[in-house]
């Protein structure tokens, strides 16, 4: 077996093409878009390179690529930790323990050379909303857009290497046609009686206004708390700009109090029901197929990306009001049969409770692992939020 660092387009192509071998007999696998993965490793497009670096390797046997791995370091993030911690991700490998070990060892050595004392994986060199965690159950449904999907035997690989579960990630699912629980009805009625509150979708709003409303709620919900920094205007505009091509204006919902945005429930259609048609490549043909199936409203699954409420309005029933509004205004459109909620960490019991009160059930579980290079040091799981 021969391991090679990805240093040119030819080797990158092998890195990107490997999943076709791993998943050739898996009918539930939908490939990640090549363009999405390329952006992660583009120093001009990924802001993580301002404070970090990344490397990729491929593993070959008898001239055939059988494995790949990436390792990354964000010095700004790592230095604030008890043990400076790097990451690995985009791991793929045939069912061969020796091959997997060689990939891991190569990544470990690079991380140690960069001063790391621990490693998290599989994670992304970017935000946690994509390419994060190892799937450990439900291998019989299609993978969601930008969510990791892998063969069951990857769990054995990670645990043989001494990785331990740092936190669990739960994806929830709910039938859109099941009535909202009474607890949300009661909360909704309380809000509805107060004329100071308004609930609406984003039809009629400019994108700049949507971005500013999103930023206002985000900053009042998380900015400056639990390690979240306040979101600047330019970042909010970039987020909304990225969402524009896939947005359904009917399913992005805001609550306002006396005209001030205080809560949001941001949903999009399940993109993998569309990207299933493009075979992992959003080239010109892929873009045309995407636009066609978006126009056809091919997706019948609504994906909840983020749910946030201004801290000053916690406990007032805002979440119940948004959920009840969705039942009364989105369900009758008959576009979406079910909804999934992007992953909620086991360190966030409050959001787990909201999902369960909503009547959603655990649909998938992923693990984010951590490995300490010095196994004599005590291992600690992720702290509970709040």
Which pLDDT value is given to residue 294?
A: 54
Assign 145 a pLDDT band (cuts: 50, 70, 90). Answer: confident
Assign 276 a pLDDT band (cuts: 50, 70, 90). Answer: low
Assign 4 a pLDDT band (cuts: 50, 70, 90). Answer: very high
Of these ranges, 48-52, 162-166, 339-343, the one predicted with the greatest mean pLDDT is 162-166
Of these ranges, 76-85, 89-98, 277-286, the one predicted with the greatest mean pLDDT is 89-98
Assign 280 a pLDDT band (cuts: 50, 70, 90). Answer: low
Assign 35 a pLDDT band (cuts: 50, 70, 90). Answer: confident
Q: What is the pLDDT of residues 168-179, one digit of tens each?
A: 999 999 998 888
Q: Do domains 2-167 and 177-336 have the same CATH topology?
A: yes
Which pLDDT value is given to residue 278?
A: 54
Assign 111 a pLDDT band (cuts: 50, 70, 90). Answer: very high
Q: Is the pLDDT of residue 288 over 70?
A: no
Which pLDDT value is given to residue 293?
A: 45
Which pLDDT value is given to residue 271?
A: 80
350-359 own/partner pairs: CB under 8 Å, 24+ apart: 350/385, 350/386, 351/307, 352/170, 354/307, 354/319, 355/170, 355/172, 357/181, 357/183, 357/184, 358/172, 358/174, 358/180, 358/181, 358/184, 358/323, 359/174, 359/178, 359/180, 359/181
Average pLDDT, stretch 6-23? 95
Average pLDDT, stretch 299-311? 87
Q: What is the pLDDT of residues 208-231, one digit of tens each?
A: 999 999 999 999 988 765 556 788
Domain extents for the chain? 2-167, 177-336
Assign 281 a pLDDT band (cuts: 50, 70, 90). Answer: low
Which pLDDT value is given to residue 250?
A: 95
Tell me, letter by letter, the H, E, C secondary structure of the chain: CEEEECCCHHHHHHHHHCHHHHCCCCCCCCCCCHHHHHHHCCCCCCHHHHCEEEEEEEEEECCEEEEEEEEEEEHHHHCCCCCCEEEEEEEEECCCHHHHHHHHHHHHHHHHHCCCCEEEECCCCCCCCCCCCEECCCCCCCCCCCCCCCCCCHHHHHHHCCCEEEEEEEEEEEECCCCCCHHHHHHHHHHHCCCCEEEEECCCCCHHHHHHHHHHHHHHHCCCCCCCCCCCHHHHHHHHHHHHHHCCHHHEEEEEECCEEEEEEEEEECCHHHHCCCCCCCCHHHHHHHHHHHHCCCCCEEEEEEEEECHHHCCCCHHHHHHHHHHHHCHHHCCCCEEEEEEEECCCHHHHHHHHHCCCEEEEEEEEEEEECCCCCCCCCCCCCC
Q: Is the pLDDT of residue 203 over 70?
A: yes
Q: Report the chain's mean pLDDT, rounded to a whole number.
A: 88
Is the pLDDT higher at 75 or at 225?
75
Indicate the fold that domain 177-336 takes in CATH: Aminopeptidase (3.40.630)
Is the pLDDT higher at 307 or at 158?
158
User: Does 2-167 carry CATH code 3.40.50.2000?
Assistant: no
Which pLDDT value is given to residue 371?
A: 97
Which pLDDT value is given to residue 323?
A: 85
pTM of the predicted structure, to 2 decimals? 0.86
């Amino acid at each position: 077996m021969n391991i090679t660092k990805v240093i040119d387009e030819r080797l990158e192509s092998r890195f990107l093409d490997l999943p076709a071998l791993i998943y050739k007999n898996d009918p539930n696998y939908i490939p990640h878009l090549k363009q999405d993965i390329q952006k992660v490793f583009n120093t001009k497009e990924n802001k993580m390179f301002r404070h970090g670096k990344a490397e990729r390797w491929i593993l070959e046997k008898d001239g055939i690529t059988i494995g790949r791995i990436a390792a990354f370091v964000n010095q700004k993030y790592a230095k604030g930790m008890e043990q400076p911690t790097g990451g690995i991700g985009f791991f793929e490998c045939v069912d061969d323990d020796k091959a997997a070990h060689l990939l891991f060892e190569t990544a470990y050595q690079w991380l140690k050379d960069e001063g790391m004392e621990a490693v998290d994986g599989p994670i992304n060199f970017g935000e946690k909303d994509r390419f994060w965690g190892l799937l450990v159950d439900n291998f019989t449904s299609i993978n969601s857009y930008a969510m990791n999907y892998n063969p069951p035997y990857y769990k054995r690989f990670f645990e043989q290497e001494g990785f331990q579960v740092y936190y669990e990630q739960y994806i929830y699912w709910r039938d859109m046609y099941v009535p909202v629980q009474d607890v949300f009805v009661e909360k909704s009625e309380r809000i509805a009686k107060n004329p100071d509150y308004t609930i609406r979708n984003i039809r009629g709003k400019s994108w700049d206004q949507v971005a500013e409303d999103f930023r206002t709620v985000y900053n009042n919900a998380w900015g400056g708390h639990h390690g979240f920094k306040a979101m600047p205007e330019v970042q909010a505009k970039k987020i909304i700009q990225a969402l524009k091509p896939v947005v359904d204006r009917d399913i992005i919902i805001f609550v306002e109090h006396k005209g001030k945005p205080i809560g949001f429930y941001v949903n999009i259609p399940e993109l993998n029901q569309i990207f299933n048609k493009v075979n992992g490549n959003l080239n010109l043909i892929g873009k045309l197929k995407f636009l066609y199936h978006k126009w056809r409203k091919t997706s019948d699954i609504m994906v909840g990306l983020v749910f946030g409420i201004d801290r000053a309005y916690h406990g007032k029933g805002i979440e119940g009001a948004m959920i009840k509004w969705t039942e009364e205004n989105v369900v009758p459109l008959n576009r979406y049969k079910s909804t999934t909620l992007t992953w909620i960490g086991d360190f966030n019991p409050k959001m787990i409770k909201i999902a369960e009160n909503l009547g959603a059930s655990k649909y998938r579980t992923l693990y984010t692992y951590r490995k300490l290079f010095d196994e004599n040091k005590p291992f600690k799981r992720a702290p509970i939020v709040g």
